[in-house]
Amino acid sequence: MAKRKPLNPAEDSGPPRMVIFGVQGSGKGTQAELIAKRYGVSHVSTGNIFRSEISKKTALGKRAMRFLASGKLVPDAVTNAMVGKYLKTAAARRRGFILDGYPRNHSQLKALERLGGVTHAIEIALPDREAVRRIGGRLNCVCGASYHVDHNPPRRRNICDSCGRALFVRNDDRPAPVRRRIRIYHRETAPLLSHYRRQGVLLRVDGRPAISVVFRSVVSRLRKTLGAKTRI
Ligand SMILES: [Zn+2]
């Protein structure tokens, strides 16, 4: 794998090509949206790409759907092809992008390197215990409303503000499945961070404070490397 030189805006004048990492509950999706808005880059989320390709019934969407429908993971080859398609769009080439949910493992990282790699890897760091606590606090209602015991509590305990029905915790948000996904993140995704650290493009931000505080840290870290090539 070609080693990138540490990012120097004077040498690297193309649009920003970013990737964001963090365990579930770290708020990385929200930060990715804020970053995309602020810097005018495309927000390329694998979750959104999957939904869009499936709803448009493209060839790739149909292939992904066959695996998802049988409860299997979508193979890397299909995911790599989908992401590659979005990174080759005119918008992503011209304005740059932030990838969210990709790469998740070494084989995806190699595919991304073949597409030109990234200029910035942002890690939203959150202790596992805090991730379990945040996700475990999510409350849902059959009407579609969602709450959080700490950040967005319903007016009456466990009762939906909009329809009055009892709230519930999704099975996926219970501690055991959350811990299982966190273990997978540590086993397959976290090792990719050392690759980006070696390339000199990793920015690590503390994910524990409020969303706006985390975003300010991200911006101040990016400002140091993006200033010369983007209007901030
Ligand atoms: Zn409701």
Instruction: Find the 132 Cα to ligand 1 centroid distance in Å.
Output: 24
Instruction: Using pLDDT thresholds of 50, 70 and 90, give the confidence band for residue 69.
Output: confident
> Taking Cα atoms as reference points, which of 174, 179, 183, 163 lies closest to residue 137?
174
**Mean pLDDT along residues 73-96:** 92
Does residue 4 have a pLDDT over 90? no
Query: pTM value?
Result: 0.85
**Mean pLDDT along residues 175-197:** 94
Instruction: Find the 31 Cα to ligand 1 centroid distance in Å.
Output: 27
Hey, what are 110's tokens?
Answer: 């190699």
Q: Is residue 215 part of a domain?
A: yes
Q: What are phi and psi of 167, to 5 degrees?
A: -85, 160
Instruction: Find the 141 Cα to ligand 1 centroid distance in Å.
Output: 5
Q: Is residue 187 part of a domain?
A: no
Mind giving me the DSSP string for 39-72?
Answer: HT-EEEEHHHHHHHHHHTT-HHHHHHHHHHHTTP
State the alpha helices, DSSP H only, in 88-137: 90-95, 106-114, 128-136
Range of the domain at 37: 17-127+193-226
Instruction: Find the 168 Cα to ligand 1 centroid distance in Å.
Output: 10
Instruction: Find the 139 Cα to ligand 1 centroid distance in Å.
Output: 10
Q: Is residue 9 part of a domain?
A: no
Exposure of 226 by Cβ count < 10 A (0-12 exposed, 13-18 middle, 19+ buried)? buried
Query: Which CATH number do you get for residue 216?
Result: 3.40.50.300
Q: Is residue 94 part of a domain?
A: yes
Does residue 148 have a pLDDT over 70? yes
pLDDT of residue 225: 79
Look-up of token digits 């429908």: 69
Instruction: Using pLDDT thresholds of 50, 70 and 90, give the confidence band for residue 10.
Output: very low
Active site residues: 28, 104, 138, 170, 181
59-87 exposure pattern, b = at least 16 Cβ within 10 A, e = fewer: ebbebbbeeeeeeeebebebbbbbbeebb
Q: Is residue 171 part of a domain?
A: no
Report the alpha-carbon distance of residue 21 to residue 46 in Å, rounded: 13
Domains in the chain: how many in total? 1
Report the alpha-carbon distance of residue 152 to residue 146 in Å, rounded: 9
Longest alpha-carbon distance in the chain: 58
Instruction: Find the 191 Cα to ligand 1 centroid distance in Å.
Output: 40
Which amino acid does the sequence have at 165? Answer: R
Q: Is residue 82 part of a domain?
A: yes
Q: Is residue 92 part of a domain?
A: yes
